[in-house]
Amino acid sequence: MTTSLPTGVDPRALTEVLDGRWGHVRRDARENLHDPDLLPVYGETVAEARARVTRMARTLAGSGRVTLGFPEEYGGEDDPGGSVVSVEMLAFGDLSVMVKAGVQWGLFGGAVQALGTQRHHDAYLRDIMGFDLPGCFAMTETGHGSDVQNLRTTCTYDPATQTFDLHTPHPAARKDYIGNAARDGRMAVVFAQLVTRGERHGVHAWLVPIRDEHGDPVPGVTVSDDGPKAGLNGVDNGRLMFDHVSVPREMLLDRYGQVAPDGTYTSPIADPTRRFFTMLGTLVRGRVSVGGAASSATKLALDIAVRYGDVRRQFTVPGADREVAVNDYLVHQRRLLPALATTYAYTFAQEELVGTMHDLQTADRVDEQQQRELESRAAGLKAAQTWHATRTIQACREACGGAGYLQENRLPHLKADTDVFTTFEGDNTVLMQLVAKGLLTGYRDAFGSLDGWGRLGFVADLVRETVLERTAARGLIARLVDAVPGRDDDVPLLDRGWQLSAFEDREKHVLEGAVRRLRRNAQTPGMAPFDVFNDVQDHVLETAQAHVDRIVLEAFVAGIERTTDDGARALLERVCDLYALSTIEADKGWFLEHGRLTPARAKALTATVNQLVRELRPHAVTLVDAFAIPEGWKAAAVLREEEGRQEAMAAHDAAVPDAGPLQGTATAVAVPPAQ
């Protein structure tokens, strides 16, 4: 059983541990990033939004905050982790600014840096960093989004002219949803099938001019606007088509594949599939950034909703002339506090992921297995954080009633702008399949081919011994799990080792079940290879979710170990309890079906979650204070208006006798929308 919470906790102690390794980047942004163009302008036209966001991009270029990840010799700081954190901080402002910056410096500039060689760096990186060369990342096609390996755009080499012929063969091969394309982009990194000497060598990337110095499309390039979107009005998403555009041989970004003047193709990676995934793996920073940015937007929504709920009053306390703060209703606590706990959990998981990415990208030698595990973890956390953002921002909107529906209170803006996060940088469902396939591939590598999979009892070792998890923190987790006295009902629900073992046991069991079904399908006569996997797709996705839940909980536990303040540690321990138990409660059916919970213990679980949210309710504002979001970044009118109302309410309540504690007094009362 955890100890009782202190009456007050300094939010700055929480901020220190949440800020983590790149706290200096976060502090710099909070102290210095206060440009009016950073904030959304409610009611502006699309043209006005695009112009404002472009102005802000130029301002950011001059600040150096968006170029941390570029090489020092070109004016950067060789700090990949810092570059991701910088994007996370931008996401507290207008998300169009964050996406614009992500396209320019993360995708376009990142592709030139990662896939190009020194001649490309010398020629273009400084102009890209300074926003003197606005660019696009032209990968997605109208007919092929997630299936990048089968893009239809072709780039065919002609030795006679020593140029490539870039061509869109049909409308479904049109490059679509391309940021910076409709208005600002002058060049694009275009992904296409490389063809030379009549042979295809898979998807590669080229630097291609799309507009001239006057802003007009270059010959052979057709540029159009994607049109009205649900959100992100400041981002000029567009479409690109290429009608036999001539591209010089030198514009091939040739770090992983070279074409000689005579058309001979060479590559340091012989296997085409391995080469393709190596190329995409170098661009993992964008996926890591999207997950972190989604969590920033979630924090902002929770900050607004929790503060509003602390001052918004509904209905009178029985026996006293005093209205109840919305945050005092258990149903409201249930709506926001588990989401807040999950946001804390993802913050620690994101910090761990960014640190791993940074260390791998700055290492002298890249370990292929570690890189593969990094990509899998980035995929899983991106999906988890963006889905969580979609759910939580909607919950915050509802928690603020009618006020939450007004643009001036920021929540509709956050809801519209983050919705696409579940789609770009990888569709979430596809990404979760990638996570699961990584787990299944690890199983196959350890135990042989699909037909020979049988030693299921060893999956636990596989789950617990991936390269990225061989850390000191992992030793702590193992000790906590090993200390659990048993699986009987006497183990307290708040025992951290029991929580960890429950997550680990679920992942192991679900993975074993998926393997058994795959093996059975593979041994079924006449079953097509596609059906072997498709038949268990639901199970595969469940495996991925269980895996992500586990690594997130373990990151939370490890993050608490970095806390030096006793009060902050006690509060984080309780928030971690709420994350763990609310996650188990959400999947209570599985735990009951598989005998991991008895019906009586399942009821106790719900009662414990209720008790946790009651205990955390007095600390709700402290927990959002710890996000340290500057007041000037929030752009929510309701927070300014409620300050005066709160003062008036406090004066009124001071004249009314105290009715005692409010927890549990009116949990069945519906809270109507604010008028």
- Whether 425 sits among the annotated catalytic residues: the reply is yes
The end-to-end CA distance of the chain, in Å, is: 43
The DSSP H or E segment spanning 53 is helix 46-63
* Selection from 472, 290, 350, 360 nearest residue 22 by Cα: 350
Q: SS3 of 387, please?
A: helix
Alpha carbon 316 to chain centroid distance? Answer: 41
Main-chain dihedrals φ then ψ at residue 377, nearest 5 degrees: -65, -40
Phi then psi for residue 189, to 5 deg, are -85, 110
217: tokens are 């499309």
Rounded Cα distance, 266 and 639, in Å: 60
Mind giving me the DSSP string for 199-237? EEEEEEEEEEE-B-TTSPBPTTEEEEE----SS-TTS--
Task: Compute the distance between CA of residue 65 and CA of residue 28 in angstroms, rounded to an integer.
Answer: 9
Distances (CA, A) of 460 to 93, 465, 496, 503: 43, 9, 19, 12
Say how far residue 6 (Cα) sits from the centre of its chain: 32
Dmax (CA) for the chain in angstroms is 92
Task: Find out whether 253 and 120 touch, Cβ atoms under 8 Å.
Answer: yes
Q: Residue 599 burial (CB < 10 Å; 0-12/13-18/19+)? A: exposed
Q: Which two tokens stand for residue 415?
A: 């809801």
Nearest to 350 by CA among 581, 547, 85: 85
Helix runs in 178-314, H state only: 272-281, 284-311
CA distances (Å), 673 to each of 261, 321, 326, 359, 636, in order? 69, 21, 11, 48, 17
Dist CA 539 CA 563 (whole Å): 37
Contact 235, 53 (CB under 8 A): yes
CA distance 668 to 431: 40
Output DSSP code: residue 674. Answer: P
Contacts of 95 (CB under 8 A, 6+ apart): 231, 232, 293, 297, 414, 417, 418
Give the 3-state secondary structure of residue 163.
strand
Closest CA to 345 of 395, 291, 397: 291
From the list 88, 141, 425, 542, the catalytic residue is 425
Q: Hey, which residues are catalytic here?
A: 425
